[in-house]
Amino acid sequence: MNLILFGPPGVGKGTQGARLANDFDMAHLAMGDILRAAVRDETPAGLEAKQYMDAGQLVPDAVVVAMIEETIMAGNGHDFLLDGFPRNVSQAEALDEMLARHSLKIGRIVFMDAPKESLLKRLCGRLICRACGFGFHRQYSPPLKSGCCDRCGGELYQRDDDREDVIANRLEVYHEQTAPLLDFYRHREGFTKIDAGGEMDAVYAALKEAVNG
Ligand code: AP5
């Protein structure tokens, strides 16, 4: 089964999506991670995307639609979980068209939501391993040794767009452009909304229940 996870920045799409993809044997296709890899590798798409990401704005639709199609196709039919795509109605329409063209279907669409206060706390405290990409949080899931990944010993860093001023832009962009996806998807078969404001394992249990239907 293929799945879409969407919701505001910091709601837990990346953390919970990785766990879910692992448990359900799906490829975790996180648009933000795909873009950050392109920026790091200085590809033409990455060079174009960087300025938008640094400002907390959406990267142009044509760029992300082409990247996600390439990534889905590279999976050769393996089930996938989309995290961070689509992010506006025109991307959702492009996804519908792309899926129809490749005879693919989405089985579940899960909207995760949490209060703004929680989102801010989660984003401001997030730390990521430079080597393996595993996520930590200064307060909620701190590493055993400060600045060092528990899994691989890599260096932990804070994302450039997790600065307070950029977070404010990202939340504004979310309300203007991504929140309308709720109306686009709410009547689709397989749509569920979950409360993602609780602690990690409780949110994961709700997500798993939503996926198992
Ligand atoms: P992206 O990387 O997708 O960022 P985002 O959507 O803003 O989401 P985040 O990664 O910030 O949050 P998350 O929901 O994954 O939360 P996480 O699990 O990490 O996109 C970055 C940028 O790329 C965008 O701003 C845009 O420029 C561009 N972009 C991406 N997709 C695009 C698209 N489709 N179109 C155009 N541009 C696009 O959790 C956050 C923290 O909270 C972690 O530390 C975690 O440990 C902690 N946490 C999570 N859940 C809990 C919990 N229940 N309790 C306590 N702590 C928790």
pLDDT in tens, 13-29: 999 999 999 999 999 99
Q: Do the Cβ atoms of 59 and 172 come closer than 8 Å?
A: no
Q: Which of 50, 108, 122, 170 is catalytic?
A: 170
Q: Do the Cβ atoms of 38 and 45 come closer than 8 Å?
A: yes
Query: What tens digit of pLDDT does each residue of 113-145 get?
Result: 999 999 999 999 999 999 999 999 999 999 999
Known catalytic residue: 170? yes
HEC states along 163-206?
Answer: CHHHHHHHHHHHHHHHCCHHHHHCCCCCEEEEECCCCHHHHHHH
Pairing of strands 191-195, 135-137: unpaired
pLDDT at 213: 81
Query: What tens digit of pLDDT does each residue of 201-211 get?
Result: 999 999 999 99
Closest Cα to atom 51 of ligand 1: 200
Domains and CATH numbers, the chain: 3-26+79-115+171-212 (3.40.50.300)
Q: Which of 19, 36, 50, 87 is catalytic?
A: 87
Q: List for the chain the helix, strand, coil content (%; round to 5).
A: 50, 15, 35
Query: What tens digit of pLDDT does each residue of 142-164 get?
Result: 999 999 999 999 999 999 999 99
Could you tell me the two tokens for 96?
Answer: 């519908």
Which residues touch 192 (CB under 8 Å, ≥6 apart)? 108, 109, 110, 111, 210
Helix axes 61-74, 31-40, angle to 10 degrees: 100
Mean pLDDT of 179-204: 97
Under the banding of pLDDT at 50, 70 and 90, the label for residue 98 is: very high
| Ligand 1, pocket-test mutation among 20, 111, 122, 164, most atoms within 8 A of CB | 122
Q: Do the Cβ atoms of 46 and 57 come closer than 8 Å?
A: no
Length reported for the chain: 213
Percent of the chain residues topping a pLDDT of 90: 98
